[in-house]
Amino acid sequence: MKISIKNALDQSFETLYNRYLRDKRNTDIVMSQALKELENNHHQQVGFPSAYVEVLRSCIETKRLQVKTIKKTGSLKKSIDKIYLKQFLTLINVLRQNVLPIEINTAKEIALIADSFRSTSKTYQESNWVGDVHTHFQNSSSFGEKGRILNTAIRIMLPQQCLELGTAYGMSALFIMEALKSIGDLGQLITVEGGELQYNLSSKILQEKYGDRINCHLGMTQDLLPELVKSVAKIDFIFHDAGHRKENYIRDFNTLLPVLKPGSVFLIDDIYWEDTLFSFGEARCYEGWTEIINHPRVIYAVEINKDLGMALID
């Protein structure tokens, strides 16, 4: 019996390892071809080739995530026939098995835009942190993994009106918009940024690229959201990456509740975040996330890679 169990485990490990080698080989082939094309294109110059390669690879390589269920309510039985619950369960399954890859030409374009920000040496200061745009961009932006989570969520949940809080340099917005483009011509994104320098850099790229399908706003969420909820009918996807504090999470969630339609997804970045360089005092982000998922309209909630929280609203 012990021998058969050991043999089964050995075979399982061998299968997984062979799959890993195959996936890595396939990714390496694609990467090699992409780099040859870039080398032959004299109109596109990359300032940071290693970082370019890393972004590109993270967009296409096989990626399985840890997704932990935090909340399932009894009202799920009433919602079991609703399409949005089935979509959400599919989304969880896909994140666990292999996050949807980014289309290769889109991945190349995003990697080039990221490279352009790394070439920006303007001074940037926030709370106790002082540096330049290059360094802050590297530390604060969403690249392949989080970008693919956003892309996958939108391609499966099929939202029409998306809201992003915390545009930063626009990387997450790029992944969101490319996903919206892939599912039709109607989806739109409203994105809000509180930092003027980041807003100026990101809004120029985003509005030139996507026109009236994206609306970029400069301001703090506590000032903009009360007016925003008066001007939109419904929102069905939110990515919260602004105001990393318990009170900000809760305030923004409660402000938006009236316009969250049944089936909306509320995705929050950095739920375990505590960084004294970028904030004063304790952030207590996880407490904020916990209070949000305790709301009766949240019928399902998961945590992804101990980093993001994702809730389904009924």
Domain boundaries, the chain: 2-44, 64-103+143-313
Predicted pLDDT of residue 288: 96
For residues 147-166, average pLDDT: 97
C-alpha to C-alpha distance for 32 and 298, rounded to whole angstroms: 45
Mean pLDDT value of segment 236-261: 95
Q: Apex CA 240: angle with CA 234 and CA 243, to 5°? A: 125
Q: Exposed, middle or buried, 166 (CB in 10 Å: 0-12/13-18/19+)?
A: buried
Tokens read off for 153: 């969520």
* pLDDT more than 90, % of the chain: 62
Instruction: Encode pLDDT of 200-226 as tens digits.
Output: 999 999 999 999 999 999 999 999 999
Residue 125 has which token pair? 């200061």
Residue 149 has, within 13 A of its CA and on its CB side, a CA count of 26
Average pLDDT over the chain, rounded to whole?
Answer: 87
16: its two tokens: 């997984």
Cα separations in angstroms, 295 against 64, 68, 72, 257, 314? 29, 19, 12, 10, 11
d(Cα 196, Cα 307) in Å, to the nearest integer?
Answer: 27
Distance CA 186, CA 188 (A): 6
Q: Is 68 left (phi over 0), alpha (psi -120 to 50) or beta?
A: beta
Tallying the residues shown for the chain, one arrives at 314
Q: Residues with Cβ < 8 Å from 95, sequence gap 6 or more?
A: 65, 67, 149, 152, 304
Class of domain 64-103+143-313: alpha beta
pLDDT in tens, 9-58: 455 555 556 666 777 787 777 777 777 777 777 677 888 888 888 999 99
261-276 pLDDT, tens digit per residue, is 999 999 999 999 876 5
